[in-house]
Amino acid sequence: MNDVQPRVAVVVGANLGLGAALLRQLAAAGWSTAAIGRAPALGELAREVATRCIVGDATDPHAMVEAVGTIEAELGPPALVIYNAHRVVLAPAMELTPEVFTSSWQATCLGAFVTAQAVLPGMLARGTGTLVFVGATASMRGGVRSAAFASAKFALRGLAQSLARELAPRGIHVAHVVLDGLIASARTHARFAAADDACMDPDAVARTFMMVIDQPRDTWTHELDLRRCDDRFF
Q: What was the pLDDT predicted at 6? A: 84
Residues in the chain: 234
8 A C-beta contact, residue 42 and residue 23: no
Query: E strand or H helix at 107, and its extent?
Result: none
The Cα–Cα gap between 191 and 56 comes to 25
Q: What was the pLDDT predicted at 189? A: 60
Q: What was the pLDDT predicted at 194? A: 62
pLDDT tens digits in sequence order for the chain, 234 residues long: 345 678 999 999 998 899 999 999 999 999 999 999 998 889 889 888 999 999 999 999 999 999 999 999 999 999 999 999 999 999 999 999 999 999 999 999 999 999 999 999 999 999 999 999 999 999 999 999 999 999 999 999 999 999 999 999 999 999 999 999 877 566 766 666 566 677 899 999 999 999 999 999 999 999 999 998 877 654
Domains present along the chain, CATH in parentheses: 8-226 (3.40.50.720)
By C-alpha distance, which of 52, 56, 63, 59 is closest to 39? Answer: 56
The Cα–Cα gap between 58 and 103 comes to 12
The Cα–Cα gap between 108 and 59 comes to 9
141-177 burial by CB neighbour count: b if 16+ within 10 A, else e? Answer: eeeeebbbbbbbbbbbbebbeebbeebeeeebbbbbb
Q: What was the pLDDT predicted at 170? A: 98
Residue 199 DSSP SS3: coil
Taking every pair of C-alpha atoms in the chain, what is the biggest distance, in angstroms? 64
The Cα–Cα gap between 226 and 175 comes to 13
Q: What was the pLDDT predicted at 5? A: 74
Neighbouring residues of 205: CB distance < 8 A, sequence distance ≥ 6: 18, 21, 179, 183, 226
Q: What was the pLDDT predicted at 232? A: 63
The Cα–Cα gap between 82 and 29 comes to 16
Neighbouring residues of 30: CB distance < 8 A, sequence distance ≥ 6: 6, 7
**Which parts of 3-110 fold into alpha helices (H)?**
18-28, 39-46, 61-74, 98-105
| HSE (side-chain half, CA atoms, 13 Å) at 214 | 13
